[in-house]
Chains A and B, each alone.
Chain A
């Protein structure tokens, strides 16, 4: 490579930077749209052309978390005065918050969100854990038919999962797993496991087996060597695999829609179901979607260093 860059190289570099910026803007536009709609007054959500400058408000989030009904007549001014600030916002929209006695009734959203967290976290832990052990086995031991077994594991991903949705639904109903957390967790672990095994095998192969051999000679059992030496070394791979598995489980829509309807329903099928009839309340839906985006963003952000190393792992010979 030339030590001094020519003017054409500098120009090319600038073009590249501008292109990347444009692409970034295009990719971020839908996210901005959702995020901004989540803070818009109801009537601004549907203006054409879209409103860009507005006074942000959190009323969509209040609506998202509360159970409400349309009011037939205007609210009693005394009741309105006595209401807390957030309830006034609901009254302002011509609705009232449902209550049992004095307790505000929450919407289904927190519950669905919690379902998503439970299912995604547990299925990720299981898929990554099992994948790590399996990958270690494949990476370190001579296994009869290793290539065939690995291919078989991968082959579970060759079919779009939704193809088996109907038979799965019938089987689940038969054994009573439909609309249960454990049912969804089993499904997501099954989806993610092959991916987890293959990804982790790549990482395991990169960890020199001399590390464990050194530990074995140093007086440790293989299991101890695995936990004390291999796992810390595989942290990057585990983090990268966990992010991918979490995203898959968190975003999964089709099976969640088919397999769950109440108790174990996750956020993805729930959010669009709130569009309802009549004029859709886009701001509330946007608020639900916006909150739904946060866990993945936070999770990915926390593991960003591992991820960066993870996706380039093995590319450079150390």
Chain B
């Protein structure tokens, strides 16, 4: 049972504030992912929880007890580093046994614990090897083993698979998920890769420039981004974002992107939901590429546009469509749009549209 709570954390590096009033409560057994670009403060937050970084303000509570004044060694937390940080002069066995050696555990018991962890991670045959003889994936398994062996209160992972190649990353992602389900320990995981975050997290904490932008389940941050930053950071291909204006039409509302000659048709209720926000300008439309519906032939509600660039990605294509002076990226079936210059018809799915206040970037919370 381990709950971690961060209360009003502030951290400065010299004159630069890297964490602003950070508050977060992490439940027992929860898998939390801190997601953000490099320099957003996510690793600093993690290191502060581990005790490798001091904080200037606030409390870090583990199971209700403040630990910010405790040394890293006394917090009973394990950490997996991006660089693996296996001790090069020790065998895999000794690496995994190292945290246990600090506890004066009997050697029989150390042996048993190490072998048990090795079995779970399927690295028993590597125990006699030195880290330099291991592949990247195996190194990371050993690093995770070293973190697990002590049965710590919580596991901290700092981009643990960021240094691996794409295929191995996918494999290890599944492995980490499997381990978490099996071992069930409170885990805080730092990454800049939103796919990793989406696939692993119970809840994602999105950070930007030292501020938490949004905390929510993967579905929440994907479907209901709190602001433009989250909207554009989560999801691949990236969400389309464009200045938009809303006008009243006969039986509907039209949303026009930038200076485009034609607007997209939306249900009339959009007007009331925007509550006059459209009138004073400063409205931004966000639409994920899968919310941009493309047809070869004309249909009611579809606007004719020209395809500009086509990126074939195997299972689907990403097509850049010229709408006025803006580009709108759409996700289509592979090969659906034959080539650049082709005329197609496009509509925006109102149910997948997001509206943001341009000035503050905040979501207006409009759902149709």
A residues neighboring B (CB under 8 Å) = 208, 210-211, 213-221, 224, 229, 232-233
Contacts and interface: CB of A to CB of B under 8 A. Distances in A.
A208 B89 contact: no
A264 to B, nearest CB: 39
Contact of B102 (A208, A213, A219, A232): A219
Contacts of B85: 208, 210-211, 213-214
Given A213-B85, A214-B79, A220 B52 contact: no
A232 B87 CA distance: 10
Nearest to B80: A214
A208 B83 contact: yes
B339 interface: no
B51 interface: yes
A221 B156 CA distance: 19
B87 A216 contact: no
Contacts of A233: 87-89
Contacts of A218: 73, 78, 98-99, 102, 146, 150
Interface string B67-103: 0000111000111010101011100000000110011
Size category of the binding interface on chain B: 20 to 34
B73 A219 contact: yes
A215 B98 CA distance: 8
Given A208-B83, A210-B83, A217 B89 contact: no
B74 to A, nearest CB: 8
Q: Considering residues B52, B85, B89, B98, which has the most beta carbons from chain A within 10 angstroms of its beta carbon?
A: B85
Contacts of A208: 83, 85
Q: Considering residues A211, A213, A221, A233, which has the most beta carbons from chain B within 10 angstroms of its beta carbon?
A: A213
B50 interface: yes
21 contacts: A208-B83, A210-B83, A210-B85, A211-B85, A213-B72, A214-B87, A216-B51, A216-B52, A216-B71, A216-B73, A217-B50, A217-B72, A217-B77, A217-B78, A217-B156, A218-B102, A219-B73, A219-B103, A219-B150, A220-B73, A220-B102
Interface in B255-298: none
Given A213-B81, A214-B79, A221 B73 contact: yes
Given A233-B88, A233-B89, A217 B83 contact: no
Interface in B96-123: 98-99, 102-103
Contacts of B150: 218-219
Contacts of A210: 81, 83, 85
A220 B73 CA distance: 6
A315 to B, nearest CB: 18
A130 B205 CA distance: 46
B337 to A, nearest CB: 44
Contacts of B156: 217
Can you list the 6 inter-chain pairs with the closest CB atoms, starting with the nearest?
A: A219-B102, A218-B99, A210-B85, A214-B85, A216-B72, A232-B89
B73 A214 contact: no
A165 B85 CA distance: 48
Given A211-B87, A219-B150, A229-B87, 19 more contacts: A208-B83, A208-B85, A210-B81, A211-B85, A213-B50, A213-B72, A214-B79, A215-B87, A215-B98, A216-B51, A216-B71, A217-B73, A217-B77, A218-B102, A218-B146, A219-B73, A219-B103, A221-B73, A232-B89
Contacts of A219: 73, 99, 102-103, 150
A277 B99 CA distance: 69
Nearest to A224: B102
Nearest to B152: A217
Contacts of A229: 87
A204 to B, nearest CB: 15
A217 B52 contact: yes
Given A211-B85, A211-B87, A233-B88, A217 B103 contact: no
A210 B46 CA distance: 14
Interface string B44-74: 0000001110000000000000000001110
Nearest to B77: A217
B149 to A, nearest CB: 9
Contacts of B83: 208, 210
A233 B85 CA distance: 12
A257 to B, nearest CB: 43
